[in-house]
Homo-oligomer: A and B are copies of this chain.
Amino acid sequence: MSIDRVIDKVDAEARKRAIQVFRERFKMILDQLQKGENPTLVLPKRTLSNTIYDEKRKMLLLGPEKLRRSLFNLHEAKKFMQTMLMAKIIYEALVNDEYPTIRDLYYRGKHTIVFVDDRGRRIEENTWDEQKESDAVIRDIEVFTGMLREEMLILSKEKGKVVGNMRIRSGNDVIDLSKMGHGAWAIEPTPDLIEFLDVDAEFVLVIEKDAVFQQLHRIGFWRKYRAILVTSAGQPDRATRRFVRRLNEELGLPVYILTDADPYGWYIYSVFKIGSITLSYESERLATPKARFLGVSMTDIFGDERKKPYLTETERRNFIIKAKDADIKRAEELRNYKWFQTPQWRKEIDIFLRKKAKLEIEALAGKGLRFLAFKYIPEKIETGDFIE
């Protein structure tokens, strides 16, 4: 037990930047106190009514509405205190070389404040009871400081994986993503700290399902087609979304997304492309507005006036799963979102609602992994058969 910790320069610099931003943003409060003013935080409202779909930038963004939180205001005092408490905890973690998670930030701040009120009664008040309260405060600090929590070295569970012909620097290591054997590189929880060293790839394929990622990886898809292969393993987490966005924005690689043919798969695509409705403030950094929906599309299953279906009638009978009521309801919700109101998406959703049919990617692998890897995917990319 002798080897000491190797200093991680990348993390040290990230800390310095975050500390600087905290000092600058919260100095205001000190100034207000010194001037004898009521300490007040002004920050963008994270409400649904202040969430706007920007048609030009093609992503969900926070609108112009602001909220004020003052110390000397009965309705705002608790929220003000919670925000200051969380800011203090995060700041201390930054200074002390800690790596908190949102779950442990909840624990770090959770305690009971005992005080005597103006009628002399002893009152006990918890800083917060549930993690959703402390999480909301962390989000407030994100919008107030303009930093993602990852930039504050707050870590989290991370499901995303990547392989491909690309070298990166993460921490102190240079990692060759084409040398991961049968495994993959589990994406780090702070993807902004990754440095792209060199890349020899033509596109990024993001696969909803980890098992299908394993199959395409193992059969050599990314090598043959010079692809960067990513899986989100279901609903994408923030790190995977940020990583994909950076591949698109900084390396100029087109991003294709492959999901099951059902409203759940469409929603995964939508989160990658547009952002999530409840966390729209992060879209500006996490969304990939140019991401393309490669499939599996309803026209892949049933064909249309332009193309023959990829499945025979017998295959459709064997592979199609009947949509459940929840799927139908979800599809009707998605139809109301502006970004699903393009002709191509209307058509997709209409076929789904008419046929009440969904299909898993695995059904295409069941038709033959070579069919999926060496015909379906490359043919759709080459012929431009995707939804922009």
Contact = CB atoms under 8 A, between A and B. Distances in A.
B175 A170 contact: no
Interface string A106-122: 11101110000000000
A368 interface: yes
Contact of A103 (B103, B158, B360): B360
Interface in A189-239: 189-190, 193-194, 209-212, 214-215, 218-220, 223-226, 233
Interface stretch (A60-68, A271-279, A311-319, A341-349): A311-319
Contact of A183 (B112, B157, B187): B187
B158 A186 contact: no
A157 to B, nearest CB: 4
A361 B211 CA distance: 29
A205 to B, nearest CB: 13
Q: How many copies does the complex hold?
A: 2
Given A3-B226, A107-B319, A157-B214, A186 B189 contact: no
B186 A181 contact: no
Contact of A104 (B161, B182, B210, B365): B365
Interface in A1-49: 1, 3-6, 8, 11
Contacts of A366: 100, 103-108, 110
B186 A184 contact: yes
A161 B353 CA distance: 40
Contacts of A155: 211, 214-215, 218
Cβ-closest 9 pairs across A and B: A170-B181, A107-B366, A182-B188, A5-B220, A104-B366, A171-B181, A103-B362, A157-B210, A183-B188
Contacts of A1: 224-226, 378
A369 interface: yes
Nearest to A97: B219
A125 interface: no
A154 to B, nearest CB: 10
Contacts of A73: none
Interface residues of A, number: 77
A386 B31 CA distance: 52
Contacts of A186: 161, 180, 183-186
Contacts of A360: 103, 107
Contacts of A214: 99, 101, 155-158, 189
Given A170-B180, A186-B184, A366-B106, A111 B161 contact: no
B182 A189 contact: yes
Nearest to A111: B318
A174 B180 CA distance: 8
